[in-house]
Structure formats: C-alpha cells, structure tokens
Amino acid sequence: MTRNEIITSAKQFVNDSPENYITIESAESPSCVGLRLFDAPIFAFGHADDEIYEQLKSRETIGPHFLPPLEWLSSAKTVISIFFPYSEQIKIANAKDFNWPADEWLHARYDGQIFLKETVTYIQKLLEKAGYKSIAPSFDVRFKSGDSRDKSGDASNKFTSNWSERHIAYACGLGTFGLSKGLITEKGVCGRFGSIVTELDLPKDVRKYKGIYEYCTMCKKCISNCPPRAISDNGKEHLPCSDFIDVTFGKHKPRYGCGKCQVGVPCMSTAPGLKI
C-alpha cells in the first residue's frame, strides 16, 4: 500500500460518505440541512521514532504522561497525521456573529468528530487488511484525556492528554501553532485532526519549519474574536475557553463549540506565514 493509495482512498471516503452531510432529521436549523462537514483532507507522514516525540514528554510541552508512537505500537514505522478542513459554509456561518457559535459550527464540532473517527477507522482497517498493524491512539482504549468538566482534582490535568493530535500534526509536518493554540496548516486552522500509527514503512515528509509559531503572523485578530476573552498576547487560557464551551453545551446538548478564533482571521483557510 502506497501513500497515494491511502490519500486517494481517504479522500474518496470523505467525498462519498453520507455521514459527511447533515440530514434533515439531525439538523439544528433549516440552514444546516445538507451541510457538508469536511472538504478533502490533507496528509503528512512522519517517522515513528522521530526524536521530537521525546521533547513532547517535557513538562513545558505536553508532559511525561505523553506516549510516543512506539509506546502505542512497538513495531511502528510511520505516523500518519490528517487534517480535515471544514467546508466554506461552516466557516462563513460562524464568522457572522462573534458572540455565539453558529448552528453549522455546532454540527462541525460534534458530528464532524464522529465522522472523523469513522474516516480514521476506515484508513486503519485498510492498513490492517493489507497486513500492517495500525493504531489510532485517540480512539484506542489506552487513550486518556483530562475532562474539563471535572471540577475536582488536579487542575493541571484537565486540559491535556497522552496523545495530542495538534502536536502530532506539528511533528509530522502539517503546520505550526498560532496564538490561539490552534495548528495552522496550508489549508488554514479551521478544521480537525486525526492520526494513525502504523508498522507500514512509508516515505516521510520533511518539516518545512523550525519555529513552533512560524505560520502565525501574530496579527492578534483571534484575540478580539474570542467571546470569553480567553486569548491575549501571551496565548490562550484554557479555563475561560472551557467555561464558555460548557455554556454552549448546556444550551445545545449534545452539541457544543465556539471556534471564533478560527474564523474571520487571516489563517482561517491558509497559512499566512508559510514561505513557499
């Protein structure tokens, strides 16, 4: 199985799957009927033994609880990182009002994550059918993530996990971080990430950047866009962001979201700091 076969199969799955569209039965509002969640995904392929994963174990980055690819699959050779860009309809809808998430965005955050899991699982099964052991860490039973809605215990554990899709995307070469802590890809910051660790040895991508904020111009537009004012010159504070998400969850359960820092910004659909 080649890189091109994986990419082509995934793009076809995203394009053809009914689950990538919102039905009349599940729509939050009439404007969401037929809504397309994701455009074609983009990929980056990294080394499973890249030394950068040890750096992610530092307390300044993720922490010692982070599990590198080889701890998920000892025979791993490749890490596949995937960015699923939201459709234009979702981005345009969420940029109309910066006080409350658009219904389209609520679908993207909730239903989009469900479909993302289906797509990642589909690719994982393709690899396994071809004879290569593969794991999607975020959907593995060993995955652990702090629960922002748990108000007890160690607060430092509420906003972290033992596998970070954004950091994995950075390691594989998909993009760099922005002031809002989103990851900016060549298709922008507006979307979601997934990944697979596999023992299939595929040609690897080379990171086009050296700095963690290289694609961010620090325009600070995300600061003024943020409803709970969770973003400042120093970056994003997780707690006020999480508290605002909780409020949207209370009104739209099971859906929730915000995403105002990802729309109406220069990096919404591209990487303004990317040097070609």
Asked if residue 55 lies in contact with residue 68, where contact means CB atoms within 8 angstroms, the answer is no
CB atoms within 10 A of CB 152: 6
b/e burial code for range 112-148 (CB count within 10 A of at least 16 → b): bbebbeebbeebbebbeeeebebbbbbbeeeeeebeb
The tally of CA atoms less than 13 A away on the side-chain side of residue 150 is: 12
Domain limits, the chain: 3-262
Mean pLDDT of 185-194: 98
Q: Which of 243, 67, 267, 91 is nearest to 184 (CA)?
A: 267
Mean pLDDT of 123-141: 97
In sequence order, which residues have a C-beta less than 8 Å from that of residue 4 and are 6 or more positions away? none
**One-letter-per-residue 3-state SS of the chain:** CCHHHHHHHHHHHHHHCHHHECCCCCCCCHHHCCCECECCCEEEEEECCCCHHHHCCCCCCCCCCCCCHHHHCCCCCEEEEEEEEECHHHHHHHCCCCCCCCHHHHHHHHHHHHHHHHHHHHHHHHHHHCCCCEECHHHCCCCCECCCCCCCCCHHHCCCECCCHHHHHHHHCCEEECCCCCEEECCECCEEEEEEEECCCCCCCCCCCCCCCCCCCCCCHHHHHCCCCCEECCEECHHHHHHHHHHHHHHHCCCCCCCHHHCCCCCCCCCCCCCC
Asked if residue 137 lies in contact with residue 71, where contact means CB atoms within 8 angstroms, the answer is no
Per-residue model confidence (pLDDT) at position 158: 64
CB atoms within 10 A of CB 250: 9
Per-residue model confidence (pLDDT) at position 224: 96
* pLDDT digits 0-9 by tens, 57-105: 988 889 899 999 999 999 999 999 999 999 999 999 999 999 999 999 9
Count of residues in the chain: 276
d(CA 78, CA 172): 10
* pLDDT digits 0-9 by tens, 205-235: 999 999 999 999 999 999 999 999 999 999 9
Tokens describing residue 18: 């009914």
Global pTM value: 0.93
Per-residue model confidence (pLDDT) at position 51: 95
Q: Which of 209, 3, 170 is nearest to 83 (CA)?
A: 170
